[in-house]
A and B are shown apart, each in its own frame.
Chain A
Amino acid sequence: SAVISQKPSRDICQRGTSLTIQCQVDSQVTMMFWYRQQPGQSLTLIATANQGSEATYESGFVIDKFPISRPNLTFSTLTVSNMSPEDSSIYLCSVEVRTAGYGYTFGSGTRLTVV
Chain B
Amino acid sequence: AQKITQTQPGMFVQEKEAVTLDCTYDTSDPSYGLFWYKQPSSGEMIFLIYQGSYDQQNATEGRYSLNFQKARKSANLVISASQLGDSAMYFCAMREGWSSGSRLTFGEGTQLTVNP
Q: Is the CB of A111 within 8 A of B43?
A: yes
Q: Is the CB of A33 within 8 A of B44?
A: no
Count, A-B residue pairs, CB within 8 A: 58
Q: Give the contacting residue for B109; candidates A33, A42, A48, A109; CB below 8 A.
A: A42
Which B-chain residue is minimally distant from A33 (CB atoms)?
B103
Dominant secondary structure at the A interface: strand
Q: Which residues of B contact A (CB under 8 A)?
A: 33, 35, 37, 42-45, 47, 50, 52, 91, 93, 95, 100-109
How far apart sit A105 and B37, CA to CA, in the bound complex (Å)? 10
Interface residues on chain A, number (Cβ under 8 Å): 25
Q: Which residues of A contact B (CB under 8 A)?
A: 30-31, 33, 37, 41-45, 48, 50, 90, 92, 94, 96, 98, 101-106, 108-109, 111
